[in-house]
Structure 1
Amino acid sequence: MPSDDLDPTTDAALVRAARLGDEDAFGEIVDRHGPGMLRYARRLVGGSDADAAEAVQEAFISAWRGLETFRGESSLRTWLFRLVHRRAVDLNRHRRPTPIDDELLSRMVHEADDNPLQDVLDGELLEALQQALDELPWNQRAVWLLREVEGLGYDEIAQALGTTVGSVRGQLHRGRRQLAERMARWR
């Protein structure tokens, strides 16, 4: 079995190749991590495809230019999420946030089987959840999305957001508590 360092498909091998100017290797990095980054950016900037694409594009430009600064202390994925988070924060400072798209919320609720009453209730639940998420403070929303939607661990979230694990735990706890309070009617 080959070592991870020698396997040309590992992130570390792709980073080494991209540092040497291999655009195909960087393209593989984009293909591998771009969809998750776009999902995260779209939700963080309020569902705007254009804003999310801009944040991801700027993050990848920063990554290409800054590959030499990537020391591997965190995973490549974590570093890329940190870059896209910074770009999304910049966009958020200049633009008014809009609600999270229904696609995210619809995946959280199972569709009813030809039950009109259930369809109405599901729609109301999605609307309430969207409103509750929109009301979360920026950091709580970011932590909640990275943990609950993207599945990152506490250490990865802390690295991606440039904070401590304790802060991540606190933000997530407060975010979950606020969502639970706002969604109490739906229990």
Structure 2
Amino acid sequence: MLNDSAGDASDTEPADHVLVRRVRLGDRSAFDAIIHRHGPGMYRFAIRMVGGDRTDAGEVVQEAFISAWKNIETFEARSSLRTWLFSLVSRRAVDLQRKRRPTPVADDFLAAVAPPANRDPLQDVMDKELVAALQAALAELPHQQRAVWLLRELEEMSYDDIATTLAMTPDSVRGQLHRGRRNLAERMAQWR
């Protein structure tokens, strides 16, 4: 069976384009399938964009899904469904950030970037300090650089998908990622 979803569906699950078609016909169970397939990744991205606040992340994802339900007719499949849904999350996170001050990214998500500790207490302390430094450095990045870095480095999206998600060109994504990496490298220089 040909499957054009984000790769999360098995051979027995309908592809994203089939689910979209069913949702457009009013099939709520198809929308539930979309939620189960793409919701976890959307939530991971949202929680990183809102600084680890689970309530805010849940609100952002909920609003994105409400928008997706109401506007499924506008999805033209020029990008993947996953990319479209992530763009909705990104917009809702930006709206939330405009209302509030920037917040840091939660430590548990950045811990994956730090090397694992070998149960050495000194190493544990250094790892926690590294994660805290990375969290602070990410919080200082401009929103676009932070979003591009998170989507590329943690969600492993392609440049084209990031461009679509954030309404940018792939060249702008490369530029923002380059500047974001450079800014992070400068802020993290003491950890080299």
> Which band: TM-score by shorter chain?
over 0.9
Task: Quote the residue 1:163 is aligned against.
Answer: 168
Is 1:149 equivalent to 2:154 in the alignment? Answer: yes
Among candidates 45, 48, 59, match of residue 50 of structure 2: 45
| RMSD after superposition | 1.3
Could you report, residue by residue, the CA deviation over 1:60-91 in whole angstroms, capped at 9, with x for unpaired residues?
Answer: 00100111111100000000011111111111
- The answer for the alignment partner of 1:10 in structure 2 is 15
Q: Deviations over 1:89-143 (max 9, x none)?
A: 1111101222111111111123322211111111111111111111111100000
Give the partner amino acid of 2:124. D
Structure 2 counterpart SS, 1:107:
coil
Partner of 1:132: 137
Structure 1 segments, 4+ long, off by >6 Å, are none
1:154 to partner: Cα distance: 0.5
Q: Which runs of 5+ in 1 are unaligned?
A: none
* CA distance 1:126–1:69, shift in 2 (3 Å): same
Q: Is the 8 A contact 1:157 1:168 kept in 2?
A: yes
TM-score where L is the length of structure 2? 0.92
Q: 1:91 aligns with which of 88, 96, 105?
A: 96
Q: Deviations over 1:133-158 (max 9, x none)?
A: 11111100000001001011000000
Alignment of 1:102 with 2:107, yes or no, is yes
What runs of 5+ residues in structure 2 fail to find an aligned partner?
A: 5-11
Matches of 2:13 and 2:75 in 1, distance apart?
18
Q: Which amino acid aligns with 1:119?
A: D
CA change 1:4–1:152 in 2 (3 A) is closer
Determine helix, strand or coil for the equivalent of 1:100. Answer: coil
What letter matches 1:68 in structure 2?
A: E
Tell me if structure 2 keeps the 8 A contact 1:155–1:165.
yes
* Alignment of 1:117 onto 2:125: no
1:84 and 1:98 mapped to 2: Cα distance?
A: 17
Match of 1:26 in 2: 31
- Aligned with 1:56 (options 46, 54, 61): 61
1:65-80 aligned at under 5 Å gives the runs 65-80=70-85
Q: Which residue of structure 1 aligns with residue 41 of structure 2?
A: 36
